[in-house]
Amino acid sequence: MNLSTKYLGFDLPHPFMAGASPLSETLDSVKRLEDAGSAAIVLFSLFEEQIVSEEMATHDAIHGGDAISSEAHGYFPDADEFRLGPDDYLNHVRKCKEAIGVPLIASLNGTTLGGWLRYAELLQEAGADALELNVYELPTDPQVTSDAVEKDKLHMIKALKERLKIPLAVKLSPFYTSLAGFAARLEQIGVDGLVLFNRYYQPDLDIEELEVTRTLQLSDSRELLLRLRAAALLSAQLNASLAVTGGVHTTEDAIKAVMVGADAVQMVSALLEHGPERLTAVRDGVEKWLVEHEYESLSQMKGSLNHAHSPDPSAFERANYMHILASWQPA
């Protein structure tokens, strides 16, 4: 069975790959992901805040000695002599690139235009085959409009696209005022792919200690529904590559993602919970399903239930809300 797909310009044997997660933090685990059949591998994200924090801590450690003795500073090397910044991540990219034979996609989460540009170029130089921008932001200033937020992101992404030679994907949140409109503008400035969606981790409250606490819960298949609707709408209107991530745990989940038009299907929580071999099982399950249902290839199935090809396009629109409410019956 031909499961091949094209994502970000790469010809892949199938669409199933490991998304950004701690599973890619060591070279051995990256090799294990490749051995499990991951068609490409998205590395864990490099965060600009972490780099800046490390640089500031090192700078303070060096220059803080001045308060004790002005002569003591002479025993410390200058800050420029330290290997500051994303060196560990860049070395990891280089080692992974040498060790594996599938496309390696670096992931970057920046906070400033200069940071995005600087680290993106470093990742390209280190050998990343593509870059996934982890656009994770929670605007909290009531004076900042949604239009301003989008213009800021478009300006940054356009600048990146003009600097980089490798393919560029943008990992979006579902919370844009007009997701389809923003996605279309991203395509217009040359973005190669969109990743649907980033997971936004919500804080919890400890009512006894009166504290805000951080919690991490893995996804389940219910989270996929939001992605399916967005991919169904966007795949019918855009030419950019589409990846679905979040809520893909089973063969059925993966089939649904492809049916609404996904070119790539990223898996994270299922691999964290069951190991990389879960990807193998899902890929084999999809192949078996296609054979049983007499498909000639995966491409025949792709997009068959997106907004343009669905027998009931209204199911992806506002009308579906009315139908669901009207169909509810008390137990």
Q: Where are the domains of the chain?
A: 5-327
Secondary structure string (H, E, C) spanning the chain: CECCEEECCEEECCCEEECCCHHHCCHHHHHHHHHCCCCCEEEEEEEHHHHHHHHHHHHHHHHHHHHCCCCHHHHCCCHHHCCCCCHHHHHHHHHHHHHCCCCEEEEEECCCHHHHHHHHHHHHHHCCCEEEEECCCCCCCCCCCHHHHHHHHHHHHHHHHHHCCCCEEEEECCCCCCHHHHHHHHHHCCCCEEEECCCCCCCEEECCCCEEECCCCCCCHHHHHHHHHHHHHHHCCCCCEEEEECCCCCHHHHHHHHHCCCCEEEECHHHHHHCCHHHHHHHHHHHHHHHHCCCCEHHHHCCCCCCCCCCCHHHHCHHHHHHHHHHCCCC
pTM over the 0.85 mark: yes
* CATH domain 5-327 topology: TIM Barrel (3.20.20)
pLDDT tens for the chain, 331 residues long, are 999 999 999 999 999 999 999 999 999 999 999 999 999 999 999 987 666 655 444 444 444 544 444 444 443 344 443 333 478 999 999 999 999 999 999 999 988 888 889 999 999 999 999 999 998 778 889 999 999 999 999 999 999 999 999 999 999 999 898 999 999 999 999 999 999 999 877 889 999 999 999 888 899 999 999 999 999 999 999 999 999 999 999 999 999 999 999 999 999 999 999 999 999 999 999 999 999 999 999 999 999 999 999 988 888 887 566 677 778 788 7
